Amino acid sequence: MPCACKKCLQHAWTLGLPSKPPSKTAIRKAFKAAAKLWHPDRFENEPIKRAEAEERFKKIQVAYRELWEHSENPELSPADTPFARASVKAAAPIIEEDLSVMSFGGAPGCFAPPYLPARAAEIIIAHLETKERVLGIVDLSGAGLRTRTFAQYILFTSNRIFVRNHLSIVSLLWYTDLGEINLVDLGKQAKPSVWQRTVARLNGARQRLSLQIYRANGTPFFSITDQADDNVKKVIYNFLLQKKAQTFS
């Protein structure tokens, strides 16, 4: 039964819902409509309006998550939900609330709750099912972009992995179907020339790694080479090893 406490009524108003929050399906639909209306990217050339949109979008995200979590746990106050507690900690470590959340060390294009950009939040809401949690997302669209587009990404939830590739095809892999995970040093696969070794020394070039993820039946799922920094690949590699160990323990 929909909650009609003061906090939920306020969140419902933020999403443009009736005075009494309806079903979870209606909450999700209202969130998508509000997020589309106030997406900051719509006001790219209007700095003042964009700043307002960013603030509204933050409130829309909080309203959606607290309404959603409170409908699952009506005995809790919306202010006591895990998402709400994490959101008010402006400078708190992102792993304080949930040790399973990924930590990318501030690497560009990498995000974890509760610090998620608007576009990442849209993608996550579109994919997540009831009681599924987001653990991290990496924008694989390319380095040096002014605005994070997430045209390509890899999303990690509590249950599975989502990937959108350069062809805009979205694939998913359940952790229960996770196979071999390899971190390959491409520099060792072929002997570099004298010129390549000289340039590498002058530039202080790091190892060039390729992260290769397979399904349990041995077929390739996805690989990351040029789309992300080597340190990010290492974070994902270690995370997947831990997930695999937990899943099959």
Using DSSP, how many helices (H) and how many strands (E) does the chain show?
7, 8
Which part of the chain has CATH 1.10.287?
1-88
Residue-level pLDDT at 201:
58
Residue-level pLDDT at 16:
82
Q: Are 115 and 104 in contact (CB under 8 A)?
A: no
Which part of the chain has CATH 2.30.29.30?
92-249
The CATH code belonging to domain 1-88 is 1.10.287
Residue-level pLDDT at 180:
95
Q: What CA–CA distances, in Å, run from 203 to 39, 56, 187, 229?
A: 40, 44, 15, 16
Residue-level pLDDT at 32:
82
Half-sphere exposure of 172 (CA within 13 A, CB side): 9
Per-residue pLDDT of the chain (249 residues; tens, 9 = 90+): 456 667 777 888 888 876 666 677 788 888 888 888 888 778 878 888 888 888 888 888 888 878 777 665 544 444 444 343 333 333 333 333 344 678 888 888 899 887 788 788 888 888 888 778 899 999 998 755 556 789 999 999 999 999 999 899 999 999 999 999 999 988 775 565 565 555 555 545 555 889 999 999 999 999 998 888 899 999 999 999 999 888 876
Residue-level pLDDT at 20:
63
**CB proximity list for 81: less than 8 A, separation 6 or greater:** 65, 66, 69, 70, 73
Q: Candidates 2.30.29.30, 2.40.50.140, 1.20.1290.10, 3.40.630.30; correct CATH number of 92-249?
A: 2.30.29.30
Residue-level pLDDT at 78:
43
Residue-level pLDDT at 183:
92
Residue-level pLDDT at 99:
45
Q: What CA–CA distances, in Å, run from 24 to 2, 5, 19, 31, 56?
A: 9, 16, 15, 10, 21
